[in-house]
Amino acid sequence: MHIAIIMDGNGRWAKAQGKKRVDGHKVGAEVVKKITTYCSNNPEIKYLTLYAFSTENWKRPKLEVEFLMKLLDNWLKKELDTYLKNEVKFEVIGDISKFSKKLQDRIKLTQQKTKHFSKLTQVLALNYGSQDEITRAIKRLCDNKEEITSSNISKNLDTGIKNIPDVDLLIRTSGEVRLSNFLLWQVAYSEMFFTPTLWPDFTEKELEKIINDFKKRDRRFGGI
């Protein structure tokens, strides 16, 4: 099973608590750890893709963007032991070339140290936008003079290059009901769940309930 989550609501959670937006991001990062650990202990879940930083997030205030970059760097450094302990492979989709060399090196190091694991693959979508991903895939096809087919586009997406399957279950927290340029191609036949829970309040128990509801759905993939 491949679960993808749009982790939304950190800022609203912080505002409701009378705290700064960055505090919401800190708590949200801890929820990532809890949910990843839960998924690593569920043999049915093989992929967990988390929308961590979109191509549109650069529009946020400079100080918030800088904080998010530092938070990601520190988080990957601190949580490497968690990846190793839970046998989680770390992967990334998106264009990380815009990140600092230090952060790019941290990402590559985490990928290198966890590449042999197969229990769970955690995928962070970083500087990711689905329209950008599809555009890059088509450019790659044109550069290689390959035929533009559905199959070839899939193979040249960030997910296809890294052998990450299409999404089975998409979850968005915070009550918003939209995809926000996330995995538009890969969720073509995924089941979608939208919860009003803000990401810092999202728990393993709620995820388990959603998974149980997902199992009850009849997935026909366009058939009868």
Residues marked active site are found at 8, 57
- Tokens 């979850």, residue? 171
**DSSP class per residue in 158-211:** HHHHTTPPPPSEEEE-TT--S-TTSSTTTTTT-EEEE--S-GGG--HHHHHHHH
Q: What's the rounded Cα separation, in Å, for the pair 35 and 21?
A: 21
- Judge residue 119's burial from the number of C-beta atoms within 10 Å of its C-beta, 0-12 exposed, 13-18 middle, 19 or more buried: middle
Distance CA 67, CA 39 (A): 27
